[in-house]
Structures are given as structure tokens and as C-alpha cells.
């Protein structure tokens, strides 16, 4: 796993986009304090998933409101699934693994 930034860059209940090895990764900080990481570019028409609304289970793309499960990446609205990444916290540092 590699460090990609500080958890303090992400307000609770929101997501932020990180550039990692030329890939755009959306990291979400859930309101329970846990993190999720997915590809940042929406597979529907390229919307910025990190700007989408999240709850403890899903993200809604801000452009057309398609929904994905934040843990599995599975589409909940008939779109292609998202790549998801293992993500952990080491104190305040976000550690990202390879996609599952």
C-alpha cells in the first residue's frame, strides 16, 4: 500500500480526487469515519464521482445520479461497475492498495 495524502484533506461525508500513478482515484470519508476508494471518473459519461453525494453505502454521481455500492463498486442502476481499491488509515495518512 502506498501513502497518497492526509485524511484531513477530506471533510467527513465527502470525497476528494487523488492522482496516483497517473490514475484518478476518488477517496470517500464516510460519516462513520471509514474510507472507501473507487475510480474517480464515472463510467457513464465521465462525471466526477468524488463530488457525488454519499451515505454509508453508496455514491451518487453528480451528473446523472447513477448509483454505485462504495464497497463492492457494483452498479445499483444498470451501469458498468467501478474499480474499487483497498484503502486504510495509518494515523492520518491514507494508504491505497492495488484495485481488487
Of 13-21, 25-33, 38-46, 80-88, which part binds ligand FES (CB under 6 A)?
Answer: 38-46
Give the DSSP H/E element, type plus range, for residue 74: none
C-beta separation of 82 from 38 below 8 A: yes
Told to check if 80 binds ligand FES by CB under 6 A, we report: no
Interaction with ligand FES in 46-65: which residues (CB under 6 A)? 46-47, 61, 63-64
- In order of 3, 32, 60, 68, the CA distances from 56 in angstroms are 24, 7, 12, 12
- Which residues of this chain interact with ligand FES, rule CB under 6 A? 42, 44-47, 61, 63-64, 66
Amino acid at each position: 500500500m502506498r501513502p497518497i495524502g492526509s485524511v484531513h484533506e477530506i471533510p467527513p461525508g465527502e470525497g476528494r480526487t487523488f492522482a496516483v500513478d497517473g490514475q484518478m482515484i476518488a477517496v470517500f470519508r464516510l460519516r462513520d469515519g471509514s474510507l472507501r476508494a473507487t475510480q474517480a471518473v464515472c463510467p457513464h459519461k465521465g462525471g466526477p464521482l468524488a463530488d457525488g453525494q454519499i451515505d454509508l453505502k453508496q455514491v451518487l454521481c453528480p451528473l446523472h445520479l447513477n448509483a454505485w455500492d462504495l464497497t463492492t463498486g457494483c452498479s445499483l442502476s444498470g451501469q458498468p461497475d467501478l474499480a474499487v481499491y483497498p484503502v486504510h488509515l495509518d494515523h492520518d495518512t491514507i494508504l491505497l492498495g492495488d484495485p481488487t
